[in-house]
Amino acid sequence: MVSFISFVSLALALASTASAFPAYGTLAGLPREELARAVTNLEYVKAPPPPGPLAYNGTKLVYDKAHPFKAPGPNDIRGPCPGLNTLANHGYLPRNGIVTPGQVITACMEGYNMENWFARFATYAGHLVDGNLITNLMSLGGPTPKTGPAPPAPALAGGLDTHVVFEGDASMTRADAYWGDNHSFNQTLYDELASFMDKYGGGRYNWTVANEFRWQRIQDSMATNPEFSLMQPRYFTVYLETTFPILFFVDGRTTENRTLSKEDALSFFKTNKFPEDWYRTGVPSSFDGIFDVAAAHPIKPGKNVNGVNTYEVDPTQPDLSQFCGIYADFVNRIVTGLYPNPTGELLEALNINLQYLYDSISDNFCPDQQQFPYGKPQ
C-alpha cells in the first residue's frame, strides 16, 4: 500500500513538473499540444495600455543613489541586449531579468531618453515574438548556458536570446547563434571593435566607426557563418543597434560631437553598467542615423543560401525605405509563423499586443496601414 501511494505521488509530481511552464517563457513557436498545455496552466493577465511619454524629457543623472549597480546573481536572467541588461543591473528593470512591456518602455525612457513611440515599437515587437503573451512577462534572455563550449544553437532558446525572430546575426559584441552563444559578451569581437575605434575614430566610437564596423561584421558573418541571415527584422535591427552607442550611451552633457570612449563602451557592452556619474541624453531619440550607416556600404536583405559566401538578396523583402513594409512583414510572416492558429485568450492577447505595436507607428509613419493577420477583432 505504502509503495502504491509513493508511486502515485511520484507520478503526480512528474506530471506537474512536465506541465510547469515558466511564466516568462516564450510561447512562440511551441508545437500545438505543448502550447495548449502551457496556456491552460498559466494565469491570463490582460496586457494593460503602455505608459505615455515622460513628463520631463531633458538630460538628468541616471546613475544616481537610487539605482546602484549590482552584478546579476546566479538566477538573474540577462541576454544579448547591453541596453536592457544595464537597466536591470541598476534596478530600472527588475533585477531578476523578468519584465513586463510597460516596465521596459518606462525604463528605456527614464534611463536613455528613448522616444516614447520608439520604446513602444521596439518593446512590443520583442514581446510579440519573445515574450509570454498570456502572463504579459518577458525575459531578457533564455535558459541557454552563458559560457562554456558551444551547444548546438536551438531554434528557440527563450526570451530575447531567441534566434532569428528578433535577435540575429552580425552583432557587434556577440557571436552569431550558429556558433552556439548569441548573447554573451565576446572579447574577441570587442577587441576588433576597439581596433576600428583606433583606426576610424581616434580611439572613440563615432559615426565612421559605426559605418565601417557594421560592414565588417556583415562581411565576416557572410564569409564564416553558413546560416548567415539578414532577413527582416534583422536587416532593420542590424543597423539600428549600430546607432545606439552614439544615440544612447554617450553622456547627455555632451551636446556636440557625440562620440563614445572605449572605457564607457566597455562599461555598457561588457559589464552592463552605467559609467560613474552618467547622465542620459538631453534629446529624446529613436532611430536617427540608420539610413546613413546603411548607405555607407549598401546591401539588400537576404541570406547565405548554400553555405558561406552564398549570399543572395531576397527581392520579396522590404528594405529600410519601406518602414511600413517591415512592420507588415514582421506581423504577417514572423508573428503568424510563430502563432499559426491561436484561439481563446492567446488570440485575444495577440490582438491586443499587435494593436499596441501598430499604435506606436500609426500616426507618425503608417497611417491606415494596420495589418490584421488574424482578422479584425470584433
* Amino acid at residue number 95: R
Shortest reach from residue 236's CB to ligand HEM, in Å? 11
Does 166 participate in binding ligand HEM (rule CB under 6 A)?
yes
Residue sitting closest to ligand HEM (CB): 83
**Does residue 163 sit in helix, strand or coil?**
strand
Q: How far is CA 325 from CA 126, 131, 178, in A?
A: 17, 23, 28
Q: Which is nearer to ligand HEM, 207 or 248 (CB)?
A: 248
Choice from 35, 93, 108, 265 touching ligand HEM (CB under 6 A): 108
Exposed/middle/buried for 62, CB within 10 Å: 0-12, 13-18, 19+? Answer: buried
Cell numbers given for 366: 503608417
Find out whether 224 and 172 touch, Cβ atoms under 8 Å: no
Give alpha helix (H) positions in the chain. 2-19, 32-41, 82-89, 101-112, 116-130, 187-201, 207-224, 234-244, 262-266, 290-296, 323-329, 336-338, 344-362
Q: How many residues bind ligand HEM (CB under 6 A)?
A: 26
Q: Which is nearer to ligand HEM, 111 or 347 (CB)?
A: 111
Exposed/middle/buried for 49, CB within 10 Å: 0-12, 13-18, 19+? Answer: exposed
Choice from 137, 160, 222, 346 touching ligand HEM (CB under 6 A): 160
Q: How many CB atoms lie within 10 A of CB 203?
A: 12
Q: List phi, psi (to 5°) of 329.
A: -65, -45
Find out whether 145 and 151 touch, Cβ atoms under 8 Å: yes
Residues 174-213 close enough to bind ligand HEM by CB under 6 A: 174
Choice from 100, 113, 116, 123 touching ligand HEM (CB under 6 A): 123
Shortest reach from residue 358's CB to ligand HEM, in Å? 17
Asked, as a colleague might, if the bond just before 82 is cis with ω within 30 of 0, I would say no
Choice from 76, 115, 181, 241 touching ligand HEM (CB under 6 A): 241
Does 119 participate in binding ligand HEM (rule CB under 6 A)?
yes
Piece in contact with ligand HEM (CB under 6 A), picked from 244-252, 272-280, 284-292, 306-314: 244-252
Does 63 participate in binding ligand HEM (rule CB under 6 A)?
no
Shortest reach from residue 221's CB to ligand HEM, in Å? 11
Does 172 participate in binding ligand HEM (rule CB under 6 A)?
yes
Choice from 63, 92, 112, 274 touching ligand HEM (CB under 6 A): 112
Q: Which is nearer to ligand HEM, 360 or 371 (CB)?
A: 360
Q: Which is nearer to ligand HEM, 272 or 375 (CB)?
A: 272
- If we measure between CA atoms, which residue out of 122, 6, 2, 106 comes closest to residue 57? 106
Q: Which is nearer to ligand HEM, 16 or 187 (CB)?
A: 187
- Cα angle: 232, vertex 76, 137; to 5 degrees: 55
Q: Which is nearer to ligand HEM, 35 or 99 (CB)?
A: 99
Give the integer Cα–Cα distance in Å for 129 and 186. 25
Does 141 participate in binding ligand HEM (rule CB under 6 A)?
no
Residues 73-92 close enough to bind ligand HEM by CB under 6 A: 80-84
Q: Which is nearer to ligand HEM, 36 or 200 (CB)?
A: 200
Q: Kindly list the residues in this chain that would bind ligand HEM in the complex (CB under 6 A).
A: 80-84, 104, 108, 112, 114, 119, 122-123, 126, 160, 166-168, 171-174, 237, 241, 244-245, 248
